[in-house]
Chain A
Amino acid sequence: MRRNAVIALGALSLILCINVTSASPASNDAEKFIRAIGNKTLSSLKEKGISEQERVKRFKELLEEAFDLPRIARFTLGRYWRVATNKEKEEFVELFKKFVIQAYANRFQELSGRSFSVIKARGISTTQALVMTEILVPQKPAIRVNWRVRSKNHVHKITDVVVEGISMSVTQRDEFVSVIRQRGGKVEGLIRALRKKTTSN
Chain B
Amino acid sequence: MTVLSKSKNRISGTLAFVACTALILAGCATAPPADDKVAMAAFKEANDPYEPFNRAMFDFNLALDKAVLRPAASIYRDVLPEPVQNGVHNFLHNLRSPIIFGNDLLQGELDRAGSTLARFAINSTVGIFGLYDFAAYVGIEKHNEDFGQTLAVWEVEQGPYLVLPIFGPSNPRDGVGRVADILIDPLTWLTPFEFQMARTIGTAVNARARNFDQVNDLENNSLDFYSAVRSLYRQKRADEIRNGVPLNTNAVTGNLPAMPDGKSEHSQAVTSQNGK
Binding site for B on A (CB under 8 A): 71, 74-75, 78-80, 82-83, 102-103, 106-107, 110, 124-128, 130, 132, 139, 144, 146, 148, 150, 159-160, 162, 164-167, 169-171, 173-182, 185, 190, 193-194, 197
Q: Which of A159, A166, A194 has the most CB of B within 10 A?
A: A166
Contact between chains at A148 and B42 (CB < 8 Å): no
Give chain B interface residues in 80-124, CB to chain A under 8 Å: 82-83, 86
Report chain B residues within 8 Å CB of A185: 32, 36, 38-39, 42
- Quick check: which of B3-11, B16-24, B179-187, B259-267 contacts chain A, the rest being far away? B259-267
B252 near A: Cβ within 8 Å? yes
Report chain A residues within 8 Å CB of B2: none
Please give the distance in Å from B202's CB to the nearest CB on chain A.
19
Report chain B residues within 8 Å CB of A159: 259
Please give the distance in Å from B163's CB to the nearest CB on chain A.
14
Report chain B residues within 8 Å CB of A132: 246
Residue on B nearest A190 in the bound complex, by CB: B223
6 interchain residue pairs of minimum CB distance:
A165-B239, A178-B227, A174-B231, A103-B221, A125-B250, A166-B235
Given the known interface contacts A165-B239, A185-B39, the answer about A144 and B260 at a Cβ–Cβ threshold of 8 Å is no
Contact between chains at B265 and A175 (CB < 8 Å): no
Partner of B250, one of A124, A164, A166, A173: A124
Inter-chain pairs besides A82-B38, A175-B223, 16 sampled, C-beta below 8 Å: A75-B260, A79-B42, A126-B261, A126-B265, A128-B250, A139-B86, A148-B259, A150-B261, A160-B252, A165-B240, A166-B232, A167-B253, A169-B252, A175-B224, A185-B32, A190-B223
Contact between chains at A107 and B217 (CB < 8 Å): yes
Contact between chains at A167 and B43 (CB < 8 Å): no
B199 near A: Cβ within 8 Å? no
Q: How large is the interface on B (under 10, 10 to 19, 20 to 34, 35 or more residues)?
A: 35 or more
CA distance in complex: A82, B257 (Å): 13
CA distance in complex: A66, B261 (Å): 17
Contact between chains at B260 and A170 (CB < 8 Å): no
CA distance in complex: A82, B249 (Å): 24
Binding site for A on B (CB under 8 A): 32, 36, 38-39, 41-43, 45-46, 82-83, 86, 213, 217, 221-224, 226-228, 230-232, 235-236, 238-240, 242, 244, 246, 249-250, 252-254, 256, 259-262, 265
CA distance in complex: A83, B40 (Å): 14
Given the known interface contacts A79-B41, A178-B46, the answer about A171 and B232 at a Cβ–Cβ threshold of 8 Å is yes
Report chain A residues within 8 Å CB of B242: 165
Residue on B nearest A176 in the bound complex, by CB: B223
